[in-house]
Structure 1
């Protein structure tokens, strides 16, 4: 799957306020499957949030106060307050601040991320075919594809110095091809939105 996906060319074309492309069934299945998995993880996080009786009274939604233990969710939902000072353990005040900020902002971030995933699932034809996006939808695609890249990159342990190809017996090898394909897809969608047709 990965080798095929890495070679597939998905040209994006912008005409006015519309961005179009085409995908075949296999490409659509890969993309929809990955986006659906990420969306499912994010919705599970939403569903696990304790009910807040004060939210209805104040109109302020609150979320989890602790960071996700899952490394993928932790990457997608990072702390809103830096705790890695490099000079020892954070103070109680810093931990409390991080917890309060997460509780306040995570619901909105989850809404945003599940929302852009939903746009991809709504506009990517399951059987393949033409993708036709408004500029707003295209921006949602960029965000959703980036989330999938972050999730897959975390799973694969992608680093800046990782080679473009892994040994055939490395179990990560085919999945790295998918990661590279997503990177290519994202880069060319950025170029289409900016009106530039070619990578430098």
Structure 2
């Protein structure tokens, strides 16, 4: 995978993934969606859309999961009441937005030809993104990287630790995925900055 590039003629942001890479990315995004929706209220189809829009009965306490704490930090750490009110009015919409961004990545990969079950060796997936979709992917990459960094307990300046792990250590492999998503995000940012 060579990362994202801006196509000169169409101005689309493009990338080619191996089937394995595309499937790995789909899996990461699906896990993010599951995490975001697991603790959130399940949307109901029988509620009037306006009523749902005006429903501010969201969560008022910090999530238990450390990844969700990182994705939805407390807005007012020194004021519990203000933090609770802020969370109640914003967290539901933020969760929906993050889940929708992850679903966009999944759907784009599948629209590009990634089958529901990866069975082909040598499968290549070409992805072409317009600018708004590319920005959505970029936001979702941020969420995936935050989730991975939290689970792995990545800290600034700990590169030597990660490099010292043997290749067959599952933590080293997970850290390589974290670095890979970072690479994707970096090349996507660079591609978006070119006109």
Q: Give the TM-score category using the shorter length.
A: 0.7 to 0.9
2:81 alignment counterpart: 96
Q: Give the TM-score, by structure 2 length.
A: 0.81
Aligned with 2:97 (options 97, 100, 112): 112
Deviation, 1:79, is 1.3
Match of 2:64 in 1: 69
Deviation at 1:45, TM superposition (A): 2.2
Paired residues of 2:61 and 2:87 also in contact (CA < 8 A): yes
Deviation at 1:170, TM superposition (A): 4.4
Alignment root-mean-square deviation, CA: 2.4
Runs of 4+ in structure 1 over 6 Å off: none
| TM-score (norm: length of structure 1) | 0.79
- The 5-angstrom pairing of residues 84-163 of structure 1 reads 90=78, 94-125=79-110, 126-127=114-115, 128-163=124-159
Match of 1:27 among 17, 21, 24: 21
Q: Deviations over 1:109-164 (max 9, x none)?
A: 11110111111011013254110111000000001111000000101111111115
CA deviations over 1:65-89 (Å, ceiling 9, x no partner)? 00101101111111122x1xxxxxx
Q: CA deviation at 1:19?
A: 1.1
Contact 2:7–2:13, Cα closer than 8 Å, also in 1: yes
Cα separation, partners in 2 of 1:32 and 1:58, compared to 1, 3 Å: closer
